Amino acid sequence: GADTVANYQAALRSVTYRNGSGDPTAGERAIGFTVTDGNSDDLGDGALSAT
C-alpha cells in the first residue's frame, strides 16, 4: 500500500529471524526482500546473526 519511504524502511529494518530448532547453529543467515511501487523494483538485502 501507499506509505512513506521512512515507514517502509522502518518495516524492513524490523524483520527478524527465528529458528525453531531445538539445537540451532549460530552464524549469519541471509535474508532478501523485494519492494515494488508498481512501476519499478528495488531489491534490498541484509544479514543477521543468530545467537
Q: Which CA distances in Å does 30 have to 11, 39, 42?
A: 17, 27, 17
The three cell numbers of residue 27 are: 552464524
Side-chain-side CA neighbours of 9 within 13 Å: the count stands at 3
The three cell numbers of residue 22 are: 531445538
**What value does the mean pLDDT take over residues 9-24?**
83
**What value does the mean pLDDT take over residues 3-11?**
88
Tell me if 12 sits within 8 A of 35, measured CB to CB: yes
Query: What pTM, to 2 d.p., does this model score?
Result: 0.48
Over residues 34-51, the pLDDT tens digits come to 666 666 656 555 665 555
Q: What is the pLDDT of residue 50?
A: 57
Sign of CA dihedral 15, 20, 26, 31: negative
The percentage of the chain sitting over the pLDDT mark of 90, rounded to a whole number, equals: 6
